[in-house]
Amino acid sequence: MTTHTRFCPAKVNLFLEVTGKRPNGYHELATLFAKINLGDTLSLQVRPASETQLSLTLTGPIGSQLRADESNLVCRAARGFLEHFNLTADIQMTLDKQVPTGAGLGGGSSDAANTLLALCEIFGKDKQALLPLATKLGADVPLFMYDEPFLKGEGIGEILTPIAAGGLLPWLVLVYPNTFISTKDIFGSFHLPPAPEIRANTERLTRLIDCIRQAQSITQWKPFLFNRLTQYVTPISQPVQNALDDLAKNAESVLMSGSGSTVFALAQTKQEALKIADNMRKTGRMVFCTSFYTPKK
Hey, which residues are catalytic here?
A: 11, 140
Distance CA 263, CA 285 (A): 11
Question: Who contacts 242 (Cβ-Cβ below 8 Å, separation ≥6)?
Answer: 177
Question: Who contacts 297 (Cβ-Cβ below 8 Å, separation ≥6)?
Answer: none
Region of residue 157 (left: phi > 0; alpha: psi -120 to 50; beta: else): left
Distance CA 266, CA 112 (A): 27
Q: Please compute, for residue 163, the number of CA atoms within 13 A of its CA located in the half-sphere on the CB side.
A: 26
Distance CA 176, CA 168 (A): 26
